[in-house]
Amino acid sequence: MNTLSKNKLTILGIESSCDETGAAIFHTDQGLLSNELYSQIAQHAHSGGVIPERASREHMEKIITIVDQALTKASITLASVDVIAVTHKPGLPGALTIGVSYAKALAYAANKPIIGIDHLEGHMFSACIENDVKFPFVALTASGGHSSLYLVHDYGSYELLGSTLDDAAGEAFDKVAKLMHLPYPGGPVIERLAQEVNFQDFFAYPRTNMKNFNFSFSGLKTAILYHLIQQKAYDPETKQFLKSDDIAFQQQVASSLLVCMGDIFEEKLRRVFTTYPEIQSFCFVGGVACNKYLRSRLTSTCNQFKKQLHFPSFKLCTDNAGMIAFVGHFKAQQKLFSDLSLKIF
């Protein structure tokens, strides 16, 4: 198949799996016409992570406005939409319920077909929106909630090679940042501190679960916690970071964490390319794919194996409705519709 150009369709995508409220319009010929997003980072920053109940309330307050903005930006009305695609798994139950309920209400009121979309499938194909990705390809999806490897044969045809057994990559960044009382989300600040010391490996944290395609970052996070306690940098009783004024130490921890993460990702990719030599392309997707250091490491690996490499633009790396609308488009072409009994999970 390897094509999206069959019937000309306009898709409204809605995303509300976690703490981003998104709506987007995708058209067969014109591509992504809008991709509107309301981020809740500021609302959750003080807690160092997403508060599910607050995330749901924010979705309730913003979803109508964001959908209206997506339609306006695309210069269309709901009447011009052919299909409504909405994230229905995985994610926070309350957050998903808001998006699915609103999408079903729109579909019923406007007599439009609806399609439930797997959030991870959205990430998996996000690099295809802006790039001519050759099949079969391998996708590494990495964010605060997931770290997975997929072998993708075609649009809608893929197999899971490995996934996170505990903490995801982005979650490890956030939790280590929280231990050191650094801002949320942790990924950007970890990368900035590591860059200041030229991405050196000072502490040789353990490279966990390197012999298969699964990921495990809980042990890495725990090793860093014990290291901070040993260095008298963290008090587990008061949960206080005791070296807030020691920038050099923070840089070393951040850099060692990031280099360790790079080693793990690089080894997984090498193992995939060796096991599946027919793979033509690699896509690094999800929020962690915004990390320029990790992009550089994986670029080198792809060059060594002579594989094509694709990243989504930064706006398509984080949770967004553009990728949901895109997946909704090829599912609509295949007539894989849901109905108004669509549930979360």
Per-residue confidence (pLDDT) for residue 226, from 0 to 100: 98
Query: Residue 210: what pLDDT?
Result: 85
The predicted pLDDT at position 152 comes to 98
Helix (H, G, I), strand (E, B) or coil at 205: coil
Check pLDDT > 60 for residue 289.
Answer: yes
pLDDT value at position 41?
A: 94
At 35 the three-state DSSP class reads: strand
Q: Where are the alpha helices (DSSP H) in the chain?
A: 41-44, 52-73, 93-110, 119-124, 169-179, 186-195, 218-230, 247-275, 292-305, 314-317, 322-333
Long-range Cβ pairs for the range 155-158 (8 Å, 24+): 155/1, 155/2, 155/4, 155/125, 155/128, 155/330, 156/330, 156/331, 156/334, 156/336, 158/121, 158/124
What CATH number belongs to 10-129+317-333?
3.30.420.40
Q: Do domains 10-129+317-333 and 137-311 have the same CATH topology?
A: yes
- Mean pLDDT value across residues 121-147: 97
Residue 223 pLDDT grade (very low, low, confident, very high; cuts 50, 70, 90)? very high
Four-way CATH pick for 137-311: 1.20.120.350, 3.30.420.40, 3.40.630.40, 3.90.1170.50: 3.30.420.40
pLDDT of the residue at 3: 53
With bands split at pLDDT 50, 70 and 90, how would you rate the model's confidence at 5? low
- What is the reported pLDDT for 4? 53
Measure the CA dihedral 301/296/166/196, to 10°: 140
User: Which pLDDT value is given to residue 211?
Assistant: 86
| Domain parsing of the chain, residue ranges | 10-129+317-333, 137-311
Cα separation of 157 and 164, whole Å?
21
Length of the chain: 345
Residue 82 has pLDDT above 50, yes or no: yes
For the segment 132-137, the average pLDDT, to the nearest whole number, is 98
Which residue, 22, 96, 3, is CA-closest to 324? 22
Give 328-338 pLDDT, tens digit per residue.
999 999 999 99
Mean pLDDT across 126-138: 98
The distance from CA 269 to its chain's CA centroid, rounded to whole angstroms, is 18
Q: Give pLDDT, residue 48.
A: 84
With beta carbons less than 8 A apart as the criterion, state whether 340 and 31 touch: no
Nearest Cα to Cα of residue 212 among 270, 257, 171, 172: 270
Q: Span 234-250, mean pLDDT?
A: 97
Query: What pLDDT does 1 receive?
Result: 41
**How confident is the model at residue 206, as a pLDDT?**
95
CA dist., res. 294 & res. 285, Å (int): 11
Sheet holding 281-285, edge to edge: 157-162, 147-154, 137-142, 281-285, 308-310
